[in-house]
Structure 1
Amino acid sequence: MKKITLLFVLIFHYALMAQVTIGSSTVSNQNILKVQDGTRGVILPYSNTYTTFPKYDAASTDLFSDYPNLVGGLIYNKADDQYYKYDGFAWNPARQLQGVFQLKGSRLGISSGITIPCLAFGLGICLSLGAPVYLAPDDKSQVLVDNLLLKNASSVTIKQNGMYDIAAALGFTGGSVGAQIGITEFKLTLQVKYTPASAWETIVTKSNYSIIFIIDTQGSKTSSFSQTVSLPAGAELRVVPTITTVGGSGGSLSAYGTDTSSVNSYIGARLIKAY
């Protein structure tokens, strides 16, 4: 009788540990649950708005209470059409800085670009006429929102002391024609003016390169970066593009500009921690 009972317990334990398979007759010990169906889907937990997410706390800096047992949880937000993942501290949108309903974040597009003419004979000379202005109107269809209220009349200004994730991208348009063989460097620089009276200070730079072989055709010329930085209230942000051409021979004329598409050009900020 004891042997029969032990055998029954072992079989029952194996059944508990076996994979559950839905929509397929093929099982694998690599998964606990397998769902396979080419015509129907699985509906995961969802919410109409982030305020009904588990652990929502309006008094918390990041709007959610810490709860390690929920790490890796997923929930779909119907309001902005994306999934959110819980990391033990807060629910993070799948598109991160680009989340429309990320109340602690902003994503700004270009309202006016600049032109960058170049003249190259060996070492190229390019004139960056100012900096693009990231003050385009909010447009949720283009994932442009200003939940941190960064936009002033003519500048991007931090409103609250804190630690921020800053991400910026800038697309370049145009090209060059000439008899030069070499490379073109497209550099993006994030600068901060901490007070109205202070000078602009460089925080980070990022470069992308394009090969010149007689004609530098219009193509993918986009530079981007992400940087964590501590910023005081009142600090201003700007992104400065520069172009340098280095050729082995000959010369070329170039005319570049900044891409105003929000896919290629934007500045984003997310408040990590308020001071």
Structure 2
Amino acid sequence: MKKFILIVVLLFQYGLNAQVVIGDNVVSNQNIVKVKDGAKGIILPFSTTYTAFPKYDASSPDVFSDYPNLVGGLIYNKTDDQYYKYDGFAWNPARQIQGIFQPKGSRLGISSGITIPCFAFGLGICLSLGAPVYLAPDNKSQVLVDNLLLKNVSSVTIKQNGMYDVAAALGFTGGSVGAQVGVTEFKLTLQVKYTPASDWETIVTKTNYSLVFIVDTQGSKTSSFAQTISLPTGAELRVVPTITTVGGSGGSMAAYGTDSNSINSYIGARLIKAY
């Protein structure tokens, strides 16, 4: 009787650990599930829109809730014809390179912004008080990851000689009140300090415009750019915003600021080739 029970237990244990084989009769201990068929495929879960993906949440910064038990999940999106993988925080498209799973890329958010007061009497004068600091803590749910280790105590600094794709975006908040008709220019400038002793050099400037009619209340304005540049080890990066108002004015005042939301404000870099 004891031998019979032992045999049953061993067979039951083997059944729990046995491999599932489909389309073949050759078992391998290298796999849990084995599928072999030269004429048929496997249909994985699919959707016609990402809003139907599991854990979709429009109120989240990355529109998906965090759920560690779903890590590694795959789903096919018919709309853009590609697979998405869940990393515990969001569904990431297979053909898109993001900071989270790109080992040679960083995407940094704003840790402290600035205010930009303006006074307009025909030609507006705005005072940009410094530059925003892109040293926010890493947050995968907001796609903020510093894989290139660009963040120093108080600066964004290149750690390896190479060719980089650099992208930056900055959202402007606020508006103007007064008797004014014209155009407001929102300008974003990428500057590089190549050595600690050198001056800041302008690399690229991007400008967006907002029409003003009495009251500028169009909500947030965003400027962004992307540039490929060669950078040495130790080079510092910063983004400088400026605002100019041009138009007929009987006198107006404005108070602009920088949006700290990582969707609208960030600096990113990807190492293309190391030297």
What's the counterpart of residue 230 of structure 2? 230
Structural RMSD (CA) = 2.0
What's the counterpart of residue 267 of structure 1? 267
Cα displacement (A) at 1:123: 0.7
Counting only pairs closer than 5 Å after superposition, residues 202-241 of structure 1 correspond to structure 2 as: 202-241=202-241
Distance in 2 of aligned mates of 1:77 and 1:162 = 30
Counting only pairs closer than 5 Å after superposition, residues 46-125 of structure 1 correspond to structure 2 as: 48=72, 76-79=84-87, 81-85=91-95, 94=96, 96=97, 98-125=98-125
What's the counterpart of residue 134 of structure 1? 134
SS at match of 1:152: coil
Deviation by residue 1:147-200 (Cα, 9 ceiling, x = unmatched): 000000000000000000000000000000010100100000000000000000
Aligned residues of 2:175 and 2:255 also touching (Cα < 8 A): yes
Unpaired runs of 5+ residues, structure 2, are 1-44, 48-70, 74-80
* Aligned sequence identity (%): 79
- Structure 1 residue identity aligned to 2:229: V
- Structure 2 residue identity aligned to 1:81: W
Distance in 1 of aligned mates of 2:84 and 2:246 = 49
Q: Does 1:145 align with 2:145?
A: yes
What's the counterpart of residue 170 of structure 1? 170
- Structure 2 residue identity aligned to 1:233: T
Q: List 4+ stretches of structure 1 deviating above 4 A.
A: 73-76
Deviation by residue 1:250-269 (Cα, 9 ceiling, x = unmatched): 22100000000001000000
Aligned positions, number:
200
Cα displacement (A) at 1:128: 0.3
What's the counterpart of residue 258 of structure 2? 258
Distance in 2 of aligned mates of 1:84 and 1:230 = 28
Cα displacement (A) at 1:84: 2.3
- Structure 2 residue identity aligned to 1:248: G
TM-score by length of 2: 0.69
Distance in 1 of aligned mates of 2:185 and 2:136 = 27
TM-score by length of 1: 0.69
Cα displacement (A) at 1:111: 0.3
Distance in 2 of aligned mates of 1:200 and 1:225 = 18
Deviation by residue 1:61-86 (Cα, 9 ceiling, x = unmatched): xxxxxxxxxxxx9664443631323x
